[in-house]
Structure 1
Amino acid sequence: MATTVRIPLPRAYRVADILAFHSRDVEGVAEQVRGGGLRKGLLLAGVPVVLDVAFTPAEAVCVIDHDGRLSKSARALADDALLNILGLRIDPAPFLKFARAHPHLGALARQHKGLRIVQSATIFEALTWAIIGQQINLTFAIALRRTFILQAGRQHSSGLWCYPEAQDVARLDLDELTSRKFSRAKAETLLRLARMVAEGAVTLDRNHDLDETMATLLSIKGIGPWTVNYALLRGYGYADCSLHGDVAIRTAMQRVLGTEERPDIAETERWLAQFSPHRTMTAAHLWASLAHE
């Protein structure tokens, strides 16, 4: 079963950035980039879904291909996921206007005009990716994520694997993760989060009170401020996330400021505060400065 959705794209939309983000896993287990388009697999209310996106200069032509009936709420999640994976949650223009005259970030903002934050398809995916990737290098994190998808996800009829939902992860045993190179701490945190979401103790819904959700997440053992801020950025598309605990942000800040030593977390937090309410886009441009040296 399939439904086609056409999403208008803003002027100077940077398709290459979107495709680069979704091609980080070279094995393409749950995301495939080919022919100038992308395919993303995910489970929505237990139904395997593939979002198949082709780009024209004016719009994204999106086919929602689902192996079963999608409820009204699940269909809404599919539409939501399309906005996320296309980076259409945050308009970059207000940040550019805000920062273009800044002595340190202005030139960088102008250089990467139109840069967008690409999100995970769902809030649960953003949170689990944050847990998986924290404090390890990107290559290893992507390999662990691939294992995670193959263990907890399911295949769409097209063959593409679908990123799991909380209920799928909650059924895993600890040994299934630790035997596949997950640290015990990561495995326990993933299972703890998944079971709380599956049981309704944590609500991951952008219409739910955000402060309440963040407070609940912070109360979970293994989830700290960095994980929550990353979830706000990649999951909710929140425009004012302070990623002062992120090592890459601190490294980029050191290079932008030209200091001999990398700033500590407290100093980074203070420096980023000047960019509120646009700290999410500030993080995007600092990350981009490392990728385009």
Structure 2
Amino acid sequence: MAGPTFTFELAPGYRLHDVLAFHRRDTEAVAEQVSETRLRKGVMLGGVPVLLDVAFEGLAVDRYGSASLPGRATCTVHADGKMSAATRRRLEVQAHDAALNILGLRIDPAPFCAFAADDPLLGALVRAQPGLLIVQSATVFEALTWAVIGQQINLSFAIALRRTLIELAGRRHSSGLWCYPGPGDVAVLELDALLARKFSRAKAETLLRLAQLVHSGALDLEPSPTNSIEQISAALLAIKGIGPWTVNYGLLRGYGHADCSLHGDVAIRAALQALLGEDAKPAMARTEQLLARYAPHRTMAAAHLWASLHPPVSDE
């Protein structure tokens, strides 16, 4: 069923290349299909298989992958199956939020650029990439499960495990694209099914524990006046197998939370080592102190540090 269409205006400087690269990580393209002008993302929203079909229009992209002229992204929502009017309205809100996430439109980079433009440590990075975006997962649950999957393993193996989870627990949209599973889909998986597909026992048990808590309602991931981000973070930290790095990464990729401290991230520490010109990565405690100066913009600080490890390359 073709549902609503959302249009997002994209300003000059929008880093289309970064957005497409994030969703192109899985070269087998089981749940995301990416071209230079289109992004198709499959995801379960409220138990419904949904295809988010995004067309990029009017953008003139420079050699660094940033838009030199304004354009727009038009997202058409295709949901499978019949549903009530109330379900359709909820799905419309969820799909709009998911589209904002996957397009990297949740956090405005401008406040951090102004905040850190003259900073002695990060100022040069910020001035070189002023439009850097935080591209997110479509849902908070996807972000958290991706964080659990990626704990202490290399990126290529993490992407392979993510693909496995999608194939084991996800559902195919009528378009043929797999949908990233929701908590109810993961909660019913058997532990042995994950272990047989190269998941460690600790990682598999944490994924199932997280999914079962969310699916049962024991863990509420929806922020509200009575359920703050701080309360959600504390509830996540109480789950066996989930530590501060997983929570902060989940907040970043899931909520677009502006002040995540990624001091436990190895790549962040490597980037700081290079900037400081030191022989070893700074310890986590020192990294936390270094990042503290960028509060309440530590998420963008992390994004610029990650990007410094992979500087843009022009065609010239």
TM-score (norm 1): 0.98
Match of 1:81 in 2: 98
Structure 2 letter corresponding to 1:143: A
Instruction: Verify: 1:17 aligned to 2:13, yes or no.
Output: no
1:276 to 292, 295, 307: 295
- Superposition map of 1:43-192 within 5 A: 43-56=44-57, 57=59, 58-68=71-81, 69=83, 70-192=87-209
Structure 1 letter corresponding to 2:155: L
Separation in 1 of the partners of 2:16 and 2:147?
Answer: 24
Deviations 1:167-186 (A, max 9, x none): 00000010010110000000
1:206 to 223, 241, 249: 223
Match of 1:232 in 2: 251
Instruction: Verify: 1:42 aligned to 2:43, yes or no.
Output: yes
Separation in 1 of the partners of 2:311 and 2:196?
Answer: 37
The structural deviation recorded for 1:10 is 2.6
Instruction: Identify if the C-alpha distance between structure 1 residues 9 and 206 changes in structure 2 by more than 3 Å, giving closer, same or farther.
Output: farther
Separation in 1 of the partners of 2:205 and 2:116?
Answer: 41
The structural deviation recorded for 1:219 is 0.5
Deviations 1:192-225 (A, max 9, x none): 0000001101011133322221111110000011
Contact 2:20 2:36 in 1 (8 A): no
Contact 1:174 1:188 in 2 (8 A): yes
Structure 2 letter corresponding to 1:39: R
Q: Classify the secondary structure of the residue corresponding to 2:77.
A: strand
2:284 to 256, 261, 265: 265
The structural deviation recorded for 1:35 is 4.2
Match of 1:256 in 2: 275
Q: Classify the secondary structure of the residue corresponding to 2:309.
A: helix
Q: Classify the secondary structure of the residue corresponding to 1:144.
A: helix
Separation in 2 of the partners of 1:72 and 1:61?
Answer: 19
Contact 1:206 1:236 in 2 (8 A): no
Contact 2:55 2:74 in 1 (8 A): yes
Tell me whether 195-204 or 70-79 shows the greater mean CA deviation. 70-79
Match of 1:26 in 2: 27
Deviations 1:46-91 (A, max 9, x none): 2110101111232111111111235322221111000000001100
Structure 2 letter corresponding to 1:291: H
Match of 1:4 in 2: 5
Match of 2:240 in 1: 221
TM-score (norm 2): 0.91
Deviations 1:237-292 (A, max 9, x none): 11010000000000001001111111010000000000111100000000001112
Contact 1:40 1:51 in 2 (8 A): yes
Contact 1:9 1:59 in 2 (8 A): yes
Separation in 2 of the partners of 1:261 and 1:16?
Answer: 32
Structure 2: gaps (5+ residues): 60-70
1:196 to 195, 207, 213: 213
Q: Classify the secondary structure of the residue corresponding to 1:71.
A: helix
Match of 1:242 in 2: 261
Separation in 2 of the partners of 1:108 and 1:210?
Answer: 29
Matched residue pairs, number?
A: 293
Identity over aligned residues, as a percent?
63
The structural deviation recorded for 1:134 is 0.8
Separation in 1 of the partners of 2:55 and 2:210?
Answer: 34
Q: Classify the secondary structure of the residue corresponding to 1:291.
A: coil
Match of 2:64 in 1: none
